[in-house]
Amino acid sequence: MTTSLLEVRGLKIGATVYPPGEKPHDIEIVHGVDFDVEPGKVLGLIGESGAGKSTIGLAAMAYGRGGVELTGGSVMVNGRDVLQSSTRDVRRLRGAEVTYVSQSAAASFNPAKQIMEQVIEAAVLHGKFNKSDAEQRACDLFAKLGLPDPDNIGNRYPHQVSGGQLQRCMTALALCPEPDLVVFDEPTTALDVTTQIDVLKAIKDAIRDTGVAALYITHDLAVVAQVSDHIMVLRMGEMVEYGTTDEIINHPKEDYTKALVSVRSIEHEEKQPTEPVLRVENITARYKGTKFDVLHNVSVDLSPGQTLAVVGESGSGKSTLARVITGLLPPRDGTITFAGRTLTPDQPSRSIEDLRELQMIYQMADTAMNPRQTVGTIIGRPLEFYFGLKGAEKQKRIQELLDEIELGKGFQDRYPAELSGGQKQRVCIARALAAKPKLIICDEVTSALDPLVADGILKLLLELQKIEDVAYLFITHDLATVRAIADSIAVMYQGRVQRYGTKSEVLTPPFDDYTDLLLSSVPEMKLGWLEDVIANRKMESAGN
């Protein structure tokens, strides 16, 4: 085949792993993968974390991140095998024929240098343009990508532009040297949902206008459906299914692909509000040393055994609300009533009963656990602290809790490092449940997890709610999650509750402009969705 720009055959990738308690050894993480990318076409690589998709993407640039080694097969770019090329030839390829857009532009731009210098660096280095032509091209790209003030934005430093803008600058950086292939590695995953679709549209248009080919890596099938011509589904370093976007989305053959396509199949019947267990009234709050309120007059109720979803973009004040309720940030004004008692504003003055009945689960299960304690110690701590359980009694209760979170007996003696992401979050849930709380605040508990794993956690939470009759205050930016589990919803925007009511009320039109923007921005697994949404918008997204 001479038409292929990128031709990967039998690609094998290995890495050295350092598991706790074992000797370091080599493992294979990609087990022989074949695929082609034709000029001007976009191939979506999709899979969960650990599927090897980023590793494969970087292999197109002969790059192994960390201790990763490209051990076998061939990667032909424009007819040359980059795995057999000298270091010098590989450097000539990188940044000239193949370029890269990373997930976090904020981390991938050098904070000490102006954006323009970094955007044109590769083009000038490889002699594609002289400095002034490269700058002109960069400005054209900035304009094409919809960046404000395209002629001057390059003079800014990375910290002076927003996350969504920086992600577009990163795309300009990749397109500036007129490459043949761009590797997009989760370019919109770190962005807010309303910002994501603008960036997605900008990337899609830029790909179309420049005629560049692309590898588009993501875990979100709905996103990849909007930009790719073909999709390859990966799982644990092996190809599961390959086909045109239409085939994969509408007629998946493999069970795993079907599971990915039909994710979010949670059945949850909405409950009607009753006498609330938590009542937040007219809360106004600001952070110490700042001059602006981050919460304005926020009031919400939560009924026992139900779920209130608090949704909004980053900076909307949803996590601040959790800090106020837990007493970590005493409010300037307003009251919080919990289980019939008025809570004192600051956490240290609260009774042990208040502390016990109000538990929290965090986004990063990793950092919420002491890495030097076993699962048994972690779950056992609240049992000792709140109930004074000891010895056999405590062990029995730990075992019950481990059963409830669907982890077996052997997990008690494991350390957090020996658990997967989903298992860690389950341990955090067990730790919260151990206190027999009336309310658990869940702060983005599934956003760091893969879709299928996140689904499992949500199902578990709903199951536990039935058994323990615990209420959840569920903070999230993910509307699909909200649809799946909420009984009532509060939409937050710039520190205010924009829309509040039962789930059916909030999700039934007519919408206010912001709720409409938020709801319509959730990617749908439908071809052509992106164009429809952009055409029907009433409001610019906040991240612009």
In this structure, the dihedral spanned by the alpha carbons of residues 234, 29, 57 and 51, taken in order and rounded to 10 degrees, is 30
Q: Which is nearer to other proteins, 161 or 240 (CB)?
A: 161
Segment contacting other proteins (CB under 8 A): 21-29, 107-115, 186-194, 408-416? Answer: 107-115
Segment contacting other proteins (CB under 8 A): 153-161, 301-309, 344-352, 527-535? Answer: 153-161
Cis ω before 510 (30° cut-off from 0): yes
Q: Which is nearer to other proteins, 159 or 372 (CB)?
A: 159
User: Whose CA is closest to 174, among 105, 242, 114?
Assistant: 105
Q: How far apart are CA 268 and CA 273, in angstroms?
A: 15
Q: Which is nearer to other proteins, 169 or 240 (CB)?
A: 169
Per CB under 8 A, 99 contacts other proteins: yes
- 176, containing H or E segment: none
Task: Let me know: does 225 contact 416? Beta carbons within 8 Å.
Answer: no
- 98, containing H or E segment: strand 98-101
Per CB under 8 A, 126 contacts other proteins: yes
Per CB under 8 A, 93 contacts other proteins: yes
Task: Let me know: does 416 contact 424? Beta carbons within 8 Å.
Answer: yes
Query: Nearest approach, Cβ of 341 to other proteins (angstroms)?
Result: 43
- Block residue for tokens 């039109």: 509
Angle at 365 between CA 455 and CA 191, to 5 degrees: 70
Segment contacting other proteins (CB under 8 A): 115-123, 127-135, 243-251, 532-540? Answer: 115-123
Per CB under 8 A, 140 contacts other proteins: no
Per CB under 8 A, 171 contacts other proteins: no
Binding mask 10-49 for other proteins (x = CB under 8 A): ----------------------------------------
Task: Let me know: does 44 contact 203? Beta carbons within 8 Å.
Answer: no
Per CB under 8 A, 112 contacts other proteins: yes
Q: Which of positions 219-258 make contact with other proteins (CB under 8 A)?
A: none
Residue from 53, 94, 128, 499 touching other proteins (CB under 8 A): that is: 94
Amino acid identity, residue 67? Answer: G
Size of the site for other proteins (CB under 8 A): 31
User: Whose CA is closest to 382, among 423, 329, 440?
Assistant: 440
Instruction: Assign 365 to helix, strand or coil.
Output: coil
Query: Nearest approach, Cβ of 365 to other proteins (angstroms)?
Result: 23
Residue from 111, 348, 388, 528 touching other proteins (CB under 8 A): that is: 111
Residue from 78, 104, 374, 502 touching other proteins (CB under 8 A): that is: 104
Phi first, then psi, for residue 100 (nearest 5°) are -135, 135
Q: Which is nearer to other proteins, 173 or 522 (CB)?
A: 173
Sheet strands side by side (includes 42-46): 98-101, 181-185, 213-218, 42-46, 230-235, 238-244
Per CB under 8 A, 363 contacts other proteins: no
Per CB under 8 A, 65 contacts other proteins: yes
Residue from 121, 254, 418, 524 touching other proteins (CB under 8 A): that is: 121
Segment contacting other proteins (CB under 8 A): 98-106, 135-143, 227-235, 371-379? Answer: 98-106
Per CB under 8 A, 160 contacts other proteins: yes
Q: Which is nearer to other proteins, 159 or 466 (CB)?
A: 159
Q: How far apart are CA 216 and CA 228, in angstroms?
A: 7
Per CB under 8 A, 159 contacts other proteins: yes
Per CB under 8 A, 130 contacts other proteins: no
Segment contacting other proteins (CB under 8 A): 8-16, 85-93, 457-465, 477-485? Answer: 85-93
Nearest-Å Rg of the Cα atoms of the chain is 25
Segment contacting other proteins (CB under 8 A): 129-137, 151-159, 234-242, 361-369? Answer: 151-159
Per CB under 8 A, 168 contacts other proteins: no
CA atoms within 13 A on the CB side of 246: 1
User: Whose CA is closest to 4, among 215, 313, 272?
Assistant: 215
Task: Let me know: does 542 contact 313? Beta carbons within 8 Å.
Answer: yes
Per CB under 8 A, 70 contacts other proteins: no
Query: Nearest approach, Cβ of 100 to other proteins (angstroms)?
Result: 5
Q: Which is nearer to other proteins, 90 or 339 (CB)?
A: 90
User: Whose CA is closest to 407, among 386, 438, 429?
Assistant: 429
Amino acid identity, residue 156? Answer: R
Q: How far apart are CA 261 and CA 256, in angstroms?
A: 9
Task: Let me know: does 176 contact 137? Beta carbons within 8 Å.
Answer: yes
Query: Nearest approach, Cβ of 30 to other proteins (angstroms)?
Result: 19
Q: How far apart are CA 540 and CA 532, in angstroms?
A: 15
| Binding-site ranges for other proteins (CB under 8 A) | 61, 63, 65, 90-96, 99-100, 102, 104, 107-113, 118, 121-122, 125-126, 156-157, 159-160, 173
